[in-house]
Amino acid sequence: MEAYINILPRLLPGAVITVQVLLASAALAFVVAFVAGLGRVSKYSIVRKITAVYVELFRGTSLLVQLFWIYFALPAFGIQFSPFLAGVVALGLNYGAYASEVVRGAILAVPSGQTEASIALNMSNWQRMRLIILPQAFRIMLPGFGNISIELLKGTSLVSLITLTDLTYKGLIIQNTNLSYTMPVFVMLLVVYFIIALPLIILAKKLEKNASRGVAKA
Amino acid sequence: MGMTEKQLKSSNKPDKEMPLVQYENVTKKFGDVEVLKGLDLEIKQGEKVALIGPSGSGKTTIIRMLMTLEKPSGGVISLNGEPLWHKKIGDKLVPADEKHLRKLRSDIGMVFQHFNLFPHMTILRNVTEAPIHVLGLSKEEANERAVDMLNKVGLGDKLDAYPEQLSGGQKQRVAIARAVVMHPKVMLFDEVTSALDPELVGEVLQVIRDLAKETDMAMILVTHEMDFARDIADRVVFLHNGQIEEEGHPEDIFETPESERLQGFLSRFLNT
């Protein structure tokens, strides 16, 4: 028991880094999701194609390889990121690609009658999206965003492989320096990750309940 | 007697020669199915025209093409003498761009079978949203116009309610108010009572009747309510298989139908 209590304060700085990576990459993923999600439903086929290539590329390849690319390979092209920034960019682009599918699906889930009514009221394309479609689609998206943010938290552990001292990295250091701590370290890692995830899980459940309010039925 | 009033009004219009809406040899195909086969139809300023016919006869497609929700496969639809789906460049007609469509669309309004109210907005905002953002009215002007219209359709006490709290008949009356505050020159009604419970049909038809009397908006009504069509329309058009089978004054259409198809259609309606 003592071992468990000893470990906790030594894990905390790593937990802080993990939460920072989580928040920063979630913010990036959110922006990317909307840009790419709107791109996927654009009326210009060239925009649809470019965003489709991006989404499939980032969904279809390994996040770990993307991370290595951004951290180890891009410097060869003169682009150098700090470990933190490389982690945030890789996670943001990867999970943003997944989340853009949530955005796209939600936009398409708003019944076509809403689009037709806004055309009949002579709204512009952008007004229709901003005033009518997105406010309804947003409610449909939220549970999906909640789930992806939980996935994203779990994905942050990979940044330990590009020398960022996050929660996982801290745990591995403790375990390496004192092998008798192996069991307590890995138990405490699970516990701390779960504690960070808990608010996200509760939020996602709540959003799921409210998702259908204020959305037109097909 | 309402007729003579209307005729007087329209004869005062300077451009009474030019029809408000004109379909010239308009065709529409969905895949291999030809739902309209060379439609020629004119609607005058302020005229009320009822489109009747069996389902699949193309009547809804006719008004959806005018609302720019459906693109014609061939032919020309004009509004105020200007092609709707085309732009004139010199003598040539080229496909219209969004800017052109928006300009012409401002004269057209539509009420849908399934209301299509905006569920995330209050009743008042449903009616003020387009006047504010599309017409550029101030919030006060838009509110005044909307409240006035909602009072007219008997929903002045529901301003802060949300669509889901209303009955079907009330929703449809809001949808009518929402379209009317945009002051279109022609208003399209697409089977606006078909989705309603029978006991709610009357209140919606009454609102449209009042509207028809009070305004000089042209109206094109796709309907299965024959009494209503007879009551309100200056002209009734019977469609069959994507073509106009017979058209004329409501009395003639309903009392002395000429074509066998129209006779059959009407007898089926009177029997049900």
Q: CA angle at residue B78 from B74 to B79, to 5 degrees?
A: 150
Distance CA B223, CA B221 (A): 6
Inter-chain residue contact A120 with B162, CB threshold 8 Å: no
Interface test with A, best of B114, B127, B149 (most A CBs within 10 A): B114
Give the amino acid at A42. S
CA dihedral A188, A194, A195, A199 (to 10 degrees): 170
Number of H helices, E strands in chain A: 9, 0
- Is the confidence at residue A55, as pLDDT, over 90? yes
Interface test with B, best of A44, A122, A213 (most B CBs within 10 A): A122
Cα–Cα nearest to B127, from B193, B201, B139: B139
Residue in B108, B119, B178 closest to A215 by CB: B119
* Tokens (6 digits) for A156: 């942050």
Distance CA B34, CA B38 (A): 10
What pLDDT, on a 0 to 100 scale, did the predictor assign at position B12?
A: 44
Taking only the tens place, the pLDDT of each residue in A28-39 is 999 999 999 999
Query: Where are chain B's structural domains?
Result: 2-271
Distance set, CA B146 to CA A57, B120, B132, B174, B216 (Å)? 50, 18, 11, 10, 19
What pLDDT, on a 0 to 100 scale, did the predictor assign at position B2?
A: 41
With a cut of 70, list the residues of chain B below it in pLDDT. 1-16, 270-272
Contact B95, B77 (CB under 8 A): no
What pLDDT, on a 0 to 100 scale, did the predictor assign at position A216?
A: 74
- Is the confidence at residue A208, as pLDDT, over 90? no
Q: Model confidence at A218, in pLDDT bands (50, 70, 90)?
A: low
Q: Is B105 on the interface with A (CB under 8 A)?
A: yes
Chain A nearest-CA distance from B115, in A, is 8
Q: What is the DSSP letter of B207?
A: H
Taking only the tens place, the pLDDT of each residue in A56-102 is 999 999 999 999 999 999 999 999 999 999 999 999 999 999 999 99
Give the amino acid at B58. G
Three-state SS string over A99-121 comes to: HHHHHHHHHHHCCHHHHHHHHHC
* ipTM of this complex: 0.89
Distance CA B73, CA B44 (A): 24
Structure-token match 């089926």, residue found: B268
Distance CA B204, CA B212 (A): 12
Rounded mean pLDDT of A4-21? 93
What pLDDT, on a 0 to 100 scale, did the predictor assign at position B15?
A: 52
Inter-chain residue contact B119 with A214, CB threshold 8 Å: yes
- Average pLDDT value for chain A: 93
Beta strands B243-248; B235-240: pairing state: antiparallel
Segment holding A143, helix H or strand E: helix A134-155
Inter-chain residue contact B118 with A216, CB threshold 8 Å: yes
Domains (ranges, CATH) in chain A?
A: 2-210 (1.10.3720.10)
Q: What is the DSSP letter of A196?
A: H
- B-chain residues near A138 (CB < 8 A): none
Structure-token match 């004054």, residue found: B249
What pLDDT, on a 0 to 100 scale, did the predictor assign at position B272?
A: 53
What pLDDT, on a 0 to 100 scale, did the predictor assign at position B72?
A: 94
Inter-chain residue contact B118 with A114, CB threshold 8 Å: yes
Q: Just give the CATH number of B2-271.
A: 3.40.50.300
